[in-house]
Amino acid sequence: MYLTNKINLSIDRARRPLAKTHRSSEEIAKLLRRVVAPYRAYITTETSTNVDLGRIEVSAFFEPLPDTDTYAIELVLVTHPQTTSIKLRALVLNTFLFRVSQAIQHELIHAHQYRQRGWEGWSSRKQAPYNISHSAHYLSDPDEIDAHAHDVALELQRSRLDVSRLISARTITKDESLTLWGYYQTFPPHHGVINSLLKKTVSYLAYLPSTNRKTSK
């Protein structure tokens, strides 16, 4: 989306402080709060046994603000109940910041969808990359196909995958694209939902700004 580079640059300002030391998820949330605020996003934390010990995952919600024509994005940092602190080493930090950026963009796409409908039909929508095998009902919602196609486009760009080869092979690993992998866990390779998802992914890839993000620091 047109904000991809801007969002990445904002979030990158938290890279150096986040990389320094062991931090609790609340401390990580505090360091991120200011850099995500320009996108109407705020950060909360929660624990879940669905997340592996020592890991941190990002979930996001899109919510209307009562009596306004605007919205807020809630980013939830999820850790295992027994994880007290996390040291974000370079590769882990890269992935974590990527997920934060991706989640904001996913929810901004929902904001755009609702804006186009005159803010009618509000509903809370959830994105949970650590548990992508949601119900087929959720993943086949046209709004979700659209937003998840953007997630896939970002992931494919990040893993520098040849998209034409991917589309003919119809197979992918969790590391190459967690989102597409999740769709393949839920639908057979030539299902209509997969076809729409891939079609939209290709069109997002066509105008996604090229990345020149640093891979380590």
Q: Which residues of the shown chain bind Zn ion in the complex (CB under 5 A)? A: 125, 127, 144, 147
Query: The dihedral of CA 134, 138, 141, 146: what is its sign?
Result: negative
Task: Supply the minimum distance, in Å, between the C-beta of residue 191 and Zn ion.
Answer: 19
Q: What angle do CA 8, 14, 19 make, to 5 degrees?
A: 115
Task: Supply the minimum distance, in Å, between the C-beta of residue 170 and Zn ion.
Answer: 23
Task: Supply the minimum distance, in Å, between the C-beta of residue 129 and Zn ion.
Answer: 11
- Of the pair 27, 141, the CB lying nearest Zn ion is at 141
Helices 90-116 and 142-158 meet at what angle, rounded to 10?
150
- Of the pair 30, 42, the CB lying nearest Zn ion is at 42
Provide the 10 A C-beta neighbour count for residue 5.
16
Let me know: does 183 contact 139? Beta carbons within 8 Å: yes
Q: Which long-range contacts (CB under 8 A, 24 or more apart) does 119-124 make?
A: 119/64, 119/69, 122/64, 124/61, 124/62, 124/63
Task: Supply the minimum distance, in Å, between the C-beta of residue 210 and Zn ion.
Answer: 25
- Of the pair 86, 193, the CB lying nearest Zn ion is at 193
- Of the pair 99, 125, the CB lying nearest Zn ion is at 125
Q: Which two tokens stand for residue 210?
A: 């090229």
- Of the pair 86, 146, the CB lying nearest Zn ion is at 146
Backbone angle region of 27, left / alpha / beta, with phi > 0 → left and psi within -120 to 50 → alpha: alpha
Task: Supply the minimum distance, in Å, between the C-beta of residue 120 and Zn ion.
Answer: 17
CA dihedral 188, 140, 36, 58 (to 10 degrees): -50
